[in-house]
């Protein structure tokens, strides 16, 4: 072996040792108030992402009432404008997650999601003052691009900062905070959409509230530290040491580890380990990539097919617009409550089996929902479907960030996750057609079949991750 090769090998070994020590320090962080405050602060941005995302089904009735949106073939693209609105959202999410989220591997987690947060906040505000369906749908596409970047980046950020024994619990708690936005947007819509205040129709206030709040959060989140694992992967070991030391102080650890500079700070070892798109198709990761592509494609049909079309599904059961929005509010309480309850057992069950069990729960209660006619049973079954969706969400968000290494984490997760957005582009239109011709029962059958596929692919091909260090999965 040449001297240069030997030097490269030695330096890589020191990189590995340095990274292992860093990983061990992160995994040793206690479940302190300081750590949970950090998780809460990170989750606040996600609150307004989901607030923006779940507007789709709730403000459409206001857009229709204002004669901006039209139903059926009278819509801009020959389909319902509500369906086009939903499709534009998820087409933007697809582009954001697949093409721009990989920049988090290049520029860092913190910078990328700060950019995304400002992006979708500004375009949400712009959308609130449009009066033509074409421009509202176009602005919604641009909002979706920012959301696609942000959702992927937050997941990678959270995974890389949370100790392995707390990962699933941290994701469940984070989604408890984020899912509080769903009943919030449902309640806001029920209260504001039928009104006109100071010359502005209510749906515009729903959008403005989310946009202004997300921009406020932008300033609060500026103080978040960069991912230490990402800094180390870039060869910036001293900075990685500094941010971990600061996190240890936040968590009440008084004994500080001194940083010792060595060859990991200079020469070839300081060069970042760049991941490539080709690497996610290597023999080591190909099966995981394909598994997550299929899972994401079909889980989104169950999740967004029910969540975004809930008011319309309830209207299809004979309830009025006002009552369907009110019922939807009570049903969506299951999103935060489900995540909070699940946080009690999140770290006790393998993530892959949580995905399977939550999908099974959607199958069972989705089938029951299709045959209900009384308001009480509709709300009860809808609540349990939403609970299962909350359970599924934190499980797969945690799971897909665990199974790829730091150098390709955002790229791989963004690619796989983008298929959930791509499928929703088409399924939004397809669900609109199914609802028109086959009613609520047809939509529920479509959702149930999709969740059965999720159960099979994860149950058969998913690796185990419970309690394992990220570098060892």
Length of the chain: 473
Is the dihedral angle over the CA atoms 286, 106, 212, 133 positive or is it negative? negative
Average pLDDT, the chain: 83
Question: What does the alpha-carbon distance between residue 85 and residue 357 come to, in Å, rounded to a whole number?
Answer: 32
Q: What is the pLDDT of residues 281-316, one digit of tens each?
A: 999 999 999 999 999 999 988 777 776 556 566 665
Cβ neighbours around 415 below 10 Å, total: 24
Band the pLDDT of 266: cuts 50, 70, 90.
very low
Q: What is the pLDDT of residues 412-431, one digit of tens each?
A: 999 999 998 888 777 767 87
Beta-bridge mates of residue 201: 196
Q: Is 24 exposed, middle or buried (0-12, 13-18, 19+ CB in 10 A)?
A: exposed
Half-sphere exposure of 167 (CA within 13 A, CB side): 29
Residue that is written with structure tokens 């947060």 in the block: 117
**Between 349 and 371, where is the model more confident?**
349
Beta-bridge mates of residue 24: none
Residue that is written with structure tokens 């070892």 in the block: 269
- DSSP assignment, residue 251? T
Q: What is the pLDDT of residues 75-105, one digit of tens each?
A: 777 777 877 888 888 889 889 999 998 899 9
pLDDT at 315: 63
């Amino acid at each position: 072996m040449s001297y240069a090769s030997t030097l490269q090998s030695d330096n890589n070994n020191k990189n590995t040792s340095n990274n292992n020590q860093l990983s061990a320090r992160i995994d040793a962080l206690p479940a302190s108030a300081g750590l949970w405050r950090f998780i809460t602060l990170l989750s606040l941005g996600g609150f307004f992402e989901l607030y923006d995302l779940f507007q789709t089904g709730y403000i459409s009735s206001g857009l229709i009432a204002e004669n901006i949106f039209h139903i059926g073939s009278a819509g801009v693209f020959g389909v319902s404008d509500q369906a086009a609105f939903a499709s534009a959202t998820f087409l933007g999410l697809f582009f954001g997650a697949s093409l721009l989220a990989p920049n988090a591997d290049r520029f860092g987690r913190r910078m990328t999601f700060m950019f995304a947060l400002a992006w979708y906040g500004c375009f949400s505000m712009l959308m609130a003052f449009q009066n033509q369906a074409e421009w509202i749908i176009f602005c919604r596409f641009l909002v979706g691009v920012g959301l696609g970047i942000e959702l992927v980046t937050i997941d990678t950020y959270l995974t890389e900062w949370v100790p392995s024994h707390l990962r699933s619990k941290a994701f469940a708690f984070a989604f408890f905070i984020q899912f509080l936005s769903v009943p919030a947007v449902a309640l806001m819509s029920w209260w504001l959409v039928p009104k006109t205040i100071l010359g502005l129709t209510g749906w515009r206030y729903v959008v403005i509230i989310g946009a202004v709040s997300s921009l406020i959060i932008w300033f609060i989140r500026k103080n978040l530290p960069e991912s230490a694992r990402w800094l180390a992967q870039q060869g910036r070991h001293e900075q990685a040491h500094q941010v971990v030391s600061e996190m240890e102080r936040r968590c009440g650890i008084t004994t500080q580890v001194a940083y010792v500079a060595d060859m990991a700070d200079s020469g070839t070892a300081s060069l970042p380990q760049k991941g490539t798109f080709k690497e996610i198709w290597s023999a080591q990761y190909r099966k995981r990539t394909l598994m997550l592509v299929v899972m994401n494609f079909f889980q989104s049909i169950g999740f967004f097919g029910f969540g975004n079309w809930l008011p319309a599904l309830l209207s299809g059961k004979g309830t009025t617009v006002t009552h369907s929005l009110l019922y939807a509010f009570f049903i969506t309480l299951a999103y935060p409550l489900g995540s909070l309850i699940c946080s009690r057992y999140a770290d006790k069950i393998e993530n892959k089996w949580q995905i399977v069990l939550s999908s099974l729960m959607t199958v069972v209660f989705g089938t029951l929902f299709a045959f209900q006619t009384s308001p009480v049973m509709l709300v009860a079954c809808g609540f349990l479907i939403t609970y299962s969706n909350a359970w599924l969400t934190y499980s797969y968000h945690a799971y897909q960030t665990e199974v790829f290494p730091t150098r390709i984490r955002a790229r791989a997760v963004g690619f796989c996750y983008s298929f959930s957005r791509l499928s929703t582009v088409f399924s939004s239109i397809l669900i609109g057609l199914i609802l028109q011709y086959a009613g609520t029962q047809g939509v529920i059958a479509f959702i149930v079949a999709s969740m059965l596929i999720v159960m099979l692919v994860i149950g058969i091909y998913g690796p185990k991750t419970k309690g394992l260090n990220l570098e060892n999965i």
